[in-house]
Amino acid sequence: MRGEILFVLYKLCAIIRKDDKGGAPSLLAYCPKLLHLLLEALLKTHNDTVRFNCLALLTLLARQGCFESAYTNGISSSKSWDEGADHLINVLFAESVKGPLLSSDTQIQISTLHLIFHYLCCVSPEQIQLLVDENIADYVFEIIRLSECKEPVVNSCLMVLNLLSTAEKGFTERLVVGFSTLVPVLRYVAEVPFHPVQHQTLTLVWKGISDSPGIVSVSQIEELVIVLARMFRCHNDGEMGMPAETFITACSIFVALLNSPSFIGTSNLVTSLQETITHAIVACLNISEKDPNQFLHALYLLKEAYAYSPESMNDSSIIELRSCVVDICKSHLLPWILMAINEVDEDIALGILETFHFILLQNSDVQAPQFAEILVSSSWFSFSFGCLGLFPTEKMKWRVYLMLSSLVEILLENDAGQPIREVASNLPTDPIDLLLLLGQKSSKNTFLDSCQCAVLLILHTSSLYDDRLADEKSMLASLEQYILVNSSDLLCGVVDPLKMTQLINLYGLSRAAAKMNHQIPYSPEAERILFHLLNETEWDLPSSRIHLESLKWLFQQEKISKPLSNQILKFCRSNSSNRTQIIIHGENNQIMNLQVISEMASSADNHVARLSVCLLIQLAEEESQEHDIISLVKFLAMITNIFPSASDQLCLHGIGHAIRTLYHNSSCGSSPEASMAMTYLMFNILQSVHPEALCNDEAWLAVTVKLMGSLIPAQSVKWWPDEGLRVVAMFCLILHQSTNKVLVAASKTIFFSTSLASTINSMIHAACSKGPSLLDCDEETSTGENLMFALLLFYFSLRSIHTVVPGTVDWQNFLNPSNRLQPISMVSIHCHDLCRLLHFGSPPVKLVASYCLLELITRLSEQRNTSHEELKSSVAYLTSIMVILKGLVFYSDIRVSTNCSLCLSMILGWEKLDMTGARVIAKNTWWRLIVEEMAISLAAPSLASESFSNHHKPAVHVAVALLKLQKSPEWMRTVFDDPCISGIIKNLEASNISSEMVLLFRELLNSMFLKDEQIACLNRILQECRKRLYTEDCQNDCTDEKIEKRTITTDDLGEVCEYLIHVMSSAKSLDVDCGDLQTSKRLLEEIELFFKTSSKEGDR
């Protein structure tokens, strides 16, 4: 019966309209009593039908505001109604809904939750507090726990909990108990775009974590992070939208999680956190209408992520997270704000500046200096003053100048930004006003002087990164005005070193710009005052930050040579102890570092080289402290190591004279450290200097004599120590330079040295006497190392003698085993000794000995061709030489085999003057073996690729020499028969033809070994080859090749030896018909010679 009555009342209330005055329905004049009866009925009944109808009626009344009007009507119309009635009906309401909340019927639970929701919407905070005190929240959390995230129930529960959370006390404790039920619900609602209770769920989660940080467990944090990260990712990717309030709440949850003691920075969490902050920032940037509140919350999350560094988190994860934040700022925020500054709200601009400033304030981090460099490389100073122009508020002014002070502090270190912070409130917002402020007289005005210090600091730092705040003309005028009006204070007082450096940098940079633009005038008086200040004041350029253009301008001013020399010496003193540290800063163009000075020393447009050489001479003549001299010598050595072209400038300004002066300084010449430094310097110079710069032969002669005295002491020596080997290496370079008609006197001193010749002869004799055991004496042993340097010195002596004193040596004496003495004393090794070294020596010894023997044979051939004299050596002696050479034609090192083949070809060419000896030589079966091996390899298709690359070259020279004999061996026609020649031609292509191959076919043509069809085929292939060469424009003339400048150190004798071998093998090719010329030009020349020869044959 009660159920039917309640249903009738429900229908009646639903159809009754309000009266004309808009008051409550007239049926509810006794609303408090009706509500009281309904709540009692709901409390006492256990019938689901009654409960359902009662809940429906109460919900309808609540929607119509009856609970609110009931209190009002009761108070105004009933005397019995007192303040306690309000409390009693609330308690009755709380008690009456508990039963339905525990019902097993889901619909009744949902109806009850709807009733509670509408009830909470119309009651006061005190009544909401009463429901919380009556544990209604606990019932709701239990429903959520048992609901398995079924949507109607969960939605109603979260709406009710959201209203209950407004209670001032009591709810937090209940939220702690029920928090675990919210995590799976959040996972569910987060997957549905614009879910109706998504924001309520996030709000409850945020309230629970922020009010009770320890509420959340590690596993719950991991789950929440994953859920939130997915929400941000989907939002950024466009898969799922996120209202602004939801976005803000999600950011707040992440911040709360970071501050939770349970948040452990595992790799997975850090990765998710990085993804989240990236998606959050990018999402804000992609929104067309920027919400300042949403943007600021994303920036707040970014800052909190950067600041997160618990003790439980390893350093690598912290660095990774902070690097991610800096990368977001670099890749997203910075480019965006630079482009969109004219369109953004001031709050957003301030938020981004505050975020950047926060990162800069963490100066102890690695990321802060990196981020500072990123900012200044983006013209941050100009951008900052642009912000002041757009937002001329006090808040923006403070933020800009404070951030600039932090930026300067990171870039220049040592609290450099303090002057800006002290006067930030008094600095103007326009860069032009900064210049006007700088041009005022600050005498006896401490405040103005402080402002000018800040202005100089800002202009100085911005100029270091080419961020000009004003045009060069205005800048120079302002600086000159500052110098002129404050000249008395600058000249009479003590100038602050930092201010001095800043003034020098700005003035030098402005004058450098004025020099390029002749329309910008300058004040000679201001220049005079500044130069006087530089000459009379102590300043430290090496430890200062200065622009490269300003530094170059300074070193172009001859009027300040003395202070600049002092700065060079300071630089040498401060950096001599740590060479590695000097080179580390090589890419930094704002420090007077070794890279910058080396580049300047290599140029003729400044005085670095001249000042350095003059300083070295001055120190040597004054017999200054040895440490200063050694530091300067090492400095010059490193300059030539970094920029080899600096050697030219040093030599042109008299470095030879400086070295000679040093060697005659008793205190320095006897010092092992100084001697080592000078050796290093001279080696670097001699290996890289161009001959035109070596104009002071007398100085180098004196140095050579001094070195010779240290190399060959009075007593006899058999082996050179390491220092002696370095001297020998320098002698090799002097001899090499003499082939260009320079250092002639010094070269004569070397190759005409009796003591040096005696030492080398002793070494060679000792080495040759070892026989087969010489193979064990490689470059790793003392014997092998000395032998290598002796052979190298001999080779360069041969090259030098041919150029410096042509025609003074009888080269046939080197072939005479019975005459070991030369008409004039000189460094010499006989051919048979070189052959022993070729036969028994290690691979490096074989290589150098082969070059020495080739040089000797070449000079002997030239002498015989010129004088037409008889060969003095016997056939047996030549045969013994050729036996060794023939055994090395197929040696694995192509350089050795080529040199030996060239020697053999030249010896065979002597047949024209000695027919008998040549016929005996040519009968040896080794010749046929060499030629047959070459012919087979060239004709075989399977071996064509390898043969055509390199391995046929040495044997070609031998075959060509045999073909050139007046009577070539008869077996040559047997070897080069028609099938063999046709097979070789068949393997030829335009891409694999070498000059040696063309030379071979030219001699075969001259010897009438080729048929007409073979000649025609060769002509076609060679024409294709010539066309290809012309198309590719490969005109590489080997005679114009420059020897590569290698960076080596004399500390490593192995490197020195390798370099000398490189110089030896890269020297100008020998002037012989069958020289090893594998360049395109040489190939073209051979092709043209073949065509001419074939034309002559066709005319016959």
Question: Is there a domain that residue 191 lies in?
Answer: no
Q: Determine the angle formed by the axes of helices 83-101 and 125-133, rounding to 10 degrees.
A: 50
Based on the fold, state whether residues 682 and 737 are members of the same structural domain. no
Output the six-digit token pair for 470: 């004003």
Assess contact for 330 and 300: CB atoms under 8 A: no
**Region 1033-1041 average pLDDT:** 45
Q: How far is CA 731 from CA 73, 372, 734, 971, 1063, in A?
A: 119, 51, 5, 49, 13
DSSP element (H, E) containing 582: helix 579-584
Residue 591 lies in a domain: yes
* Residue 20 pLDDT > 50: no
Specify the pLDDT at position 538.
83
Q: What is the mean pLDDT of residues 322-342?
A: 94
Output the CA–CA distances (angstroms, integers) from residue 535 to 308, 309, 559, 735, 800, in the order listed.
Answer: 52, 52, 9, 44, 49
Residue type, 840: F
CA 511 – CA 463 distance, rounded (Å): 13
> Same domain, yes or no, for 845 and 950?
no
**How far is C-alpha 572 from the geometric centre of its chain's CA atoms?**
27
- Domain C-terminal end among 804, 836, 867: 867
pLDDT at residue 85 in the model: 60
Of 653, 658, 652, 655, residue with least CA distance to 620: 658
Domain assignment of residue 704, yes or no? no
Confidence at residue 451, expressed as pLDDT on a 0 to 100 scale: 94
Burial of 561 (0-12, 13-18, 19+ CB in 10 A): middle
How much is the pLDDT for 24? 45
What is the pLDDT confidence band of residue 791, given thresholds at 50, 70 and 90?
Answer: very high
pLDDT score at 14:
59
Domain shared by 992 and 1086, yes or no: yes
Residues 646 and 611 in one domain: yes
682 and 728, same structural domain? no
pLDDT of residue 341: 92
Spatial separation of the C-alpha atoms in residues 208 and 216, rounded to whole Å = 8
For 1001-1031, what is each residue's pLDDT tens digit? 999 999 999 899 999 999 999 999 988 888 8
Residue 252 has pLDDT above 70, yes or no: yes
Categorize the per-residue pLDDT at 634 as very low, low, confident or very high, splitting at 50, 70 and 90.
very high
Pair (667, 726) in one structural domain: no
Q: Are residues 720 and 645 in the same domain?
A: no
| Nearest-angstrom CA–CA distance, 1054 and 1057 | 5
Cα–Cα distance, 613 to 647 (Å, whole number): 11
Residue-wise pLDDT tens digits, 901-941: 999 999 888 864 455 555 555 566 888 888 988 898 888 87
- The SS3 of residue 808 is coil
Q: Are 537 and 495 in contact (CB under 8 A)?
A: yes
| Percentage of residues of the chain with pLDDT beyond 90 | 42
Q: Is the pLDDT of residue 150 over 90?
A: no
Identify the band that residue 74 occupies on the pLDDT scale cut at 50, 70 and 90: very low
What are phi and psi for residue 324, nearest 5 degrees? -65, -45
Overall number of domains in the chain: 3
Within-domain flag for 806: yes
Is 1071 found in the same domain as 925? yes
pLDDT of residue 479: 94
Question: Is residue 299 included in any domain, yes or no?
Answer: no
Quote the domain boundaries for residue 767: 714-867
Residue 69 lies inside a defined structural domain of this protein:
no
For residues 729 and 834, state if they share a domain.
Answer: yes
Give strand pairing partners of 545: 591
Tens-place pLDDT, residues 700-740: 999 999 998 887 764 455 678 888 899 999 999 999 999 99
C-alpha distances out from residue 442 to 315, 437, 438, 482, 488, Å: 49, 10, 9, 9, 11
**Paired tokens of 153:** 């129930």
Domain end among 640, 665, 695: 695
Domain-located, residue 329: no
pLDDT in tens, 1067-1096: 744 444 444 444 678 888 889 999 888 887
Question: Is the Cα dihedral 194, 198, 199, 202 positive or negative?
Answer: negative
- The chain-wide mean pLDDT, for the chain, equals 84
**Claim: this prediction has a pTM higher than 0.85:** no
Tokens of 610: 């001249």
Residue 387 counted as domain residue:
no
Domain-ending residue, one of 695, 725, 756: 695
Same structural domain, 790 and 650: no
3-state secondary structure of 545: strand
- Asked if 720 and 687 sit in the same domain, the reply is no
Of 742, 745, 550, residue with least CA distance to 652: 742
822 and 854 assigned to the same domain:
yes
pLDDT of residue 1041: 41
In the prediction, which pLDDT does 924 show? 67
Retrieve residue 887's tokens: 């055994």
Q: Where are the alpha helices (DSSP H) in 417-523?
A: 418-422, 431-438, 446-464, 472-485, 487-492, 497-516
For range 887-897, the mean pLDDT? 90
Are 958 and 909 a contacting pair, CB within 8 Å?
A: no
Instruction: Determine the angle formed by the axes of helices 782-804 and 754-768, rounding to 10 degrees.
Output: 130
In the block, residue with structure tokens 């030829």 = 988
